[in-house]
Structure 1
């Protein structure tokens, strides 16, 4: 994210147990939950916005 870009909220639903595990693991690693989510979203976008050669998109397609 560039300095000029304003952060926004992204909402989603996961089971409470998943959120608790995510929160605890982020805390154990000294990571901010928002930073980890941003990394995961960016990785997903890289994989899905730039399809691999041969026309295969990946799992689930």
Structure 2
């Protein structure tokens, strides 16, 4: 069994609010990753191409 992340992924604060949304392909970040503060406001975006960061904004 392969334990690598694959597909849409979310990490949550204890409050239940989304902390990070990302997408993985065979364990590598790919596409847009979004980070949120505890109130649900978007605080950072990063774009990945098969694990390599291509762009970042905050």
Give the structure, 1 or 2, with the largest relative contact order (CA under 8 Å, sep 6 or more): 2
TM-score by length of 1: 0.23
Higher strand share: 2
TM-score by length of 2: 0.24
Larger Rg: 1
Higher helix share: 1
